[in-house]
Amino acid sequence: MKNEIPAVIQTIVDQLGGPRVFAMAFDSMVYDTVDMTTDRPESSGVAGASFSIARGLRRGTVGRATRVIVNLMPDDTYTVITWRAPTLRESMRGEFGEEVGRTSCVYADQLRAVVESATGLRMTL
């Protein structure tokens, strides 16, 4: 069985630079849509994807972000959240990480630039 990515998530990946840029900049992706999960909170929009920044690139990211979360909102804009996962020592103390930044009302043509400025990563080849 082939793992098919929903069209809305594939569009987000394409707007960030496409599959080749995704393969170079990110380790993994977790996604969710309203079609898949009926209990998705309204504040999280209609679809969303969480990208884990590749381990080798994390050292150079602004604010030490380790994850980028992109949510598609009902008004066809995006909310981009950068997140820092806890270190091993912090997780042993029960800490969960922290939000490094949040940008709302991002249009499709601005998505790549917002992610680049929030993380310090170049999303073009």
- Residues 90-111 pLDDT 10s: 888 888 889 999 999 999 999 9
Q: Supply the mean pLDDT for the chain.
A: 85
Question: Rounded to two decimals, what is the model's pTM?
Answer: 0.84
| pLDDT score, position 41 | 73
56-73 pLDDT tens trace: 787 655 567 889 999 999
Q: Can you tell me the mean pLDDT for 19-37?
A: 83
* Percent of the chain scoring above 70 in pLDDT: 89
| pLDDT score, position 22 | 86
| pLDDT score, position 1 | 46
CB 123 within 8 A of CB 112: yes
Going from N- to C-terminal start, the domains of the chain cover 7-119
Q: Is the pLDDT of residue 35 over 90?
A: no
Task: Name beta bridge partners: 28.
Answer: 52
Task: Name beta bridge partners: 78.
Answer: 72, 106
Closest Cα to residue 22, out of 12, 31, 33, 7?
12
Distance CA 116, CA 114 (A): 5
22 or 35: which leads in pLDDT: 22
Q: Is the pLDDT of residue 15 over 90?
A: yes
Contacts 24+ apart (CB under 8 A), 51-59: 51/16, 51/22, 51/25, 51/26, 52/26, 52/27, 52/28, 53/25, 53/26, 53/27, 53/119, 53/121, 54/24, 54/25, 54/26, 54/27, 55/27, 57/25, 57/121
